[in-house]
Copies of this chain bind each other. A is one copy, B any other.
Amino acid sequence: ISAESAGQKKDTSPEESSHGGYETLIVTTSNNITKIMFNRPEKKNAINHKMYREIIKALQEAAKDDSTIAVFTGNGEYYTSGNDLSNFSNAQPSEMGKVAKDGAELLKAFVGTFIDFPKPLIAVVNGPAIGISVTLLGLFDVVYASDKATFHTPFSHLGQSPEGCSSYTFPKIMGTAKANEMLLFNKKLTAAEACALGLVSEVFPDSTFQKEVWARLKAYASLPKNALAVSKQLLRNLEKEKLHAVNSQECEVLTERWLSDECLNAIVSFFQRKSKL
Contact = CB atoms under 8 A, between A and B. Distances in A.
Interface of A: 120, 137-138, 140-143, 155-162, 167-169, 171-181, 183-186, 197-202, 220, 223-228, 230-232, 234-235, 237-238, 246, 249-250, 253, 256-257, 260, 262-263, 266
A180 B235 contact: yes
Contact of A177 (B143, B161, B223, B263): B143
A259 B100 CA distance: 50
B180 A142 contact: yes
Number of this chain's copies in the complex: 3
A249 B238 contact: yes
A12 to B, nearest CB: 24
A102 to B, nearest CB: 21
Given A168-B238, A231-B162, A235-B167, A200 B223 contact: no
A185 B220 contact: yes
Given A176-B169, A199-B175, A235 B141 contact: no
A171 B172 CA distance: 8
Contacts of A260: 226-227
B249 A161 contact: no
A227 B142 contact: no
Contact of A161 (B137, B227, B246): B227
The winner among A168, A171, A202, A224 for most chain B CB atoms within 10 A is A224
Contact of A175 (B161, B174, B220, B256): B174
A228 B154 CA distance: 11
A227 B174 contact: no
19 contacts: A140-B176, A141-B177, A141-B180, A142-B181, A155-B227, A156-B224, A160-B227, A167-B231, A167-B238, A172-B172, A172-B175, A175-B198, A183-B235, A184-B220, A227-B257, A227-B263, A234-B250, A234-B253, A237-B249
Nearest first, the 7 closest Cβ-Cβ pairs linking A and B are A175-B198, A173-B175, A224-B262, A141-B180, A177-B201, A161-B231, A156-B227
Contacts of A158: 227
Contacts of A141: 176-177, 180, 184
A249 B235 CA distance: 10
Nearest to A232: B184
A218 to B, nearest CB: 12
A111 to B, nearest CB: 14
B142 A231 contact: no
A199 to B, nearest CB: 6
